[in-house]
Structure 1
Amino acid sequence: MTTADNNAPLKGLVLCGGYSTRMQEDKSMIAYHGVPQWQYLTRLLQSVLEEVFISCRPEQAALFDYPQLITDNVPNGGPSAGILSAHRQQPDTAWLVLACDLPLITAQTPELLIRSRDPQQAATAFISPVNELPEPLIAIWEPAGLQALWQNVMIENKNCPRKTLLSASIKLLTHPFAAEQFNANTQEEKQEALRKR
């Protein structure tokens, strides 16, 4: 992999490659806003970025009526596989990453990330209101941060993007609308999100 300079172009990446085991239905297909969640998040990122990609497993590709797909092509699975597959395809790009399990998110969240972006850091990320740790799946990953993730996952077998952020120099933000960071991973959380949206 190559390491880019600090003026990397920024593109969007919607992570849809999970197995949704706890939800028991594909989280990227849930229609919290009248359209499948992958479509809602893609449109949301398209309102603030010129190029937006969907990350998914190869066997999912036919599910998405969308031209800009990046299918997982690195081992180990999990969200790291999606992020690193994008990095492998476009190593000089910074990625604004959104997980597909964010039913309450609005455009103000990526807008804040973009306004606050520090390309000199490995990443720009929000502090989780749940555990006060960096939130790796609502974040801007710079090429240097992605290179560190690549090293951790592919060489040291540490498949955790949050641990990469914890060991890197990053810009941390407190979200003024922290409810937008709510993750829906179970049927109970899905119903909670439907009540709140």
Structure 2
Amino acid sequence: MTITGNNAPLKGLVLCGGFSTRMQEDKSSINYHGMPQWQYLVTLLQSLLPEVYISCREDQQEHFAGYPNLVPDSVPFGGPSAGLLSAHALQPETAWLVLACDLPLLSKQSLELLIAQRDATKTATTFVSPVNNLPEPLIAIWEPAGLQALLENVTAGKNCPRKTMLNNDIALFKNPYAAEQFNANTPEEKAEALKDLEK
């Protein structure tokens, strides 16, 4: 039986399985807040949710040794969809608050707002991107139905979480703290984030 709507428990998922090619170093290990970025995001989520997991590649598991809740990629897909769908395969009746690991400015206030705005009758709840006014697929709550739709799209060769959101019924709203949605994917963006954090 598939659990939908408000019956789906909400858990946290930090996506750390990328190769960080543009950054030229592991984005999940960058120290913006006195600790590795993955640990910062896990700690943020743990302050709000009962269970938080880390999504990673099989070869990364030693990097997170000691953290009990790992979700190694278990599906034959690449990109962030691999992390999302591996978590869905592990717990298909769970809704996931998903965060990319490249969000150095993100704070608890944005996450509290996202959780408060959750509409479990939709396939997902997310913010409008301040960059392109499109949904933010990797600062989002994905309901089981949304992840099932993603699985169907990826299986059909459409490996794009944002396009899945655009083609389904989602709860979408503007974040008054939109600056926190900044992605740091390059050394230049890392430097920009560090400068902002010093203010």
Structure 1 residue 188 corresponds to structure 2 residue 188: yes
Whole-angstrom distance in 2 between the partners of 1:168 and 1:4: 18
Provide the aligned length of Structure 1 versus Structure 2. Answer: 195
| 1:11-49 deviation digits (Å, cap 9, x = unpaired) | 000000000000000000000001000000000000000
Q: Deviations over 1:112-141 (max 9, x none)?
A: 111000000000000000000000000000
Q: Contact 2:56 / 2:72 at 8 angstroms: preserved in 1?
A: yes
Query: Cα distance, 1:109 vs. partner?
Result: 1.4
Aligned counterparts, 1:103-118, within 5 A: 103-118=104-119
Find the counterpart in structure 2 of residue 162 from structure 1.
Answer: 162
Q: Distance in 2 between matches of 1:27 and 1:164?
A: 25
Matches within 5 A, 1:27-176: 27-64=27-64, 65-154=66-155, 156-176=156-176
CA RMSD, aligned part only?
0.8
Q: Given the superposition, is the C-alpha separation of residues 86 and 148 from structure 1 closer, same or farther in structure 2, using an over 3 Å criterion?
A: same
TM-score, normalisation: structure 2: 0.97
Quick one: distance in 2 between partners of 1:28 and 1:185?
Answer: 11
What is the CA deviation profile of residues 85-104 of structure 1, one whole-angstrom value per residue up to 9, with x for unaligned ones? Answer: 00000000000000000000
- Distance across 1 between alignment mates of 2:63 and 2:110: 27
Query: Matched residue of 1:152: which SS?
Result: helix
> What corresponds to 1:4 in structure 2?
3
Taking the aligned partners of 1:63 and 1:5, their CA distance within structure 2 comes to 34
Unaligned runs of 5+ in 1: none
Deviation at 1:75, TM superposition (A): 1.3
Structure 2 gap ranges (5+): none
CA deviation string 1:40-85 (max 9, x = no partner): 0000000000000000000001001311000000112100000000
Q: Are 1:23 and 2:38 an aligned pair?
A: no
Cα separation, 1, equivalents of 2:167 and 2:39: 33
Deviation, 1:4, is 2.2
Identity fraction in percent: 69
User: What letter corresponds to residue 158 of structure 1 in structure 2?
Assistant: K
C-alpha distance in 2 between matches for 1:136 and 1:8: 19
Q: Which amino acid aligns with 1:75?
A: P
Partner Cα separation in structure 2 for residue 110 and residue 72 of structure 1: 25
1: CA distance, partners of 2:154 / 2:72: 17
Q: Judge conservation of contact 1:37–1:100 (CA < 8 Å) in 2.
A: yes
Asked if the contact 1:8/1:94 (under 8 Å) is kept, the reply is: yes
CA distance in 1, matches of 2:158, 2:49: 31
